[in-house]
Amino acid sequence: MPNLSAKEHEEKLVKVPTQNLEAYTFFLKGLHFYNKITPKNVKKAIEFFEKAISLEPDYAHAYAMAAESYAFLGSTGQMQPGEAFDIVHKYSDKAIYLDSSLSAGYTAKGSAFLLYDWKWKEAYDSLLKAIELNPAATDAHQLLSFYYLITKRK
């Protein structure tokens, strides 16, 4: 994969996810709780991501992170998997629709295909797309490693 030019780095740095400061603040609070990686904190993160969405209905990254949060709850038995992964699909589809350059939407979608739907090709394709968009997307790399373990592929 080629390195980004200085111009490409600048373009990525100036992308503004929202003009709504209150929505952005809720999003950052959501990230704070999401990164604590406990069921209680991830539920709190969802509250903040959904507050951000209610203030800014086109906030792709808030949808993506809410989807990743529901995937965590569904895959760890903290929520009924069917319900959780229905929401993951809904939110990740919305995130991808709003911003197809955002890797987190593809990571969440890949998690639903991998951990609930068992649609291996779709999981693989979604996770590779997430990594292509953001090679530093650790969640996508971790899920791809699970994919290889589950499918016994290399």
- Candidates 135, 85, 129, 133; CA nearest to 111 is 85
Cβ atoms of residues 97 and 91 within 8 Å = no
Domain-located, residue 139: yes
Task: Give domain status of residue 5, yes or no.
Answer: no
Contact between 91 and 109 under an 8 Å Cβ cutoff? The reply is no
Single pTM value for the model: 0.87
Q: What are 61-85's pLDDT values in tens digits?
A: 999 999 999 999 999 999 999 999 9
Structural domains in the chain (count): 1
Residue 14 located in a structural domain: no
- Domain with 41 in it: what CATH number? 1.25.40.10
Q: Which two tokens stand for residue 90?
A: 């809904």
Q: Is the pLDDT of residue 11 over 80?
A: no
pLDDT, mean of residues 139-149: 94
Domain membership of residue 13 (yes or no) is: no
- 60-75 vs 39-55: helix crossing angle, rounded to 10: 150
Structural domain includes residue 143: yes
Structural domain includes residue 59: yes
Residues spanned by the domain of 107: 20-151
CA distance 54 to 77: 27
Task: Tell me whether residue 15 is in a domain.
Answer: no
pLDDT in tens, 86-99: 999 999 999 999 99
Alpha-carbon gap, residue 36 to 42, rounded angstroms: 7
Lowest mean pLDDT among 16-20, 34-38, 111-115, 138-142: 16-20
- The answer to whether the beta carbons of residues 75 and 108 sit under 8 Å apart is no
Q: Which residue has the higher pLDDT, 23 or 7?
A: 23
Residue predicted with more confidence, 20 or 44 = 44
116-135: average pLDDT: 95
Inside any domain, residue 10: no
Amino acid 118 reads W
How far is it, in rounded angstroms, from Cα 151 to Cα 120? 8
Q: What is the pLDDT of residue 18?
A: 79
- pLDDT higher for 14 or 121? 121
Percent of the chain with pLDDT over 70: 89
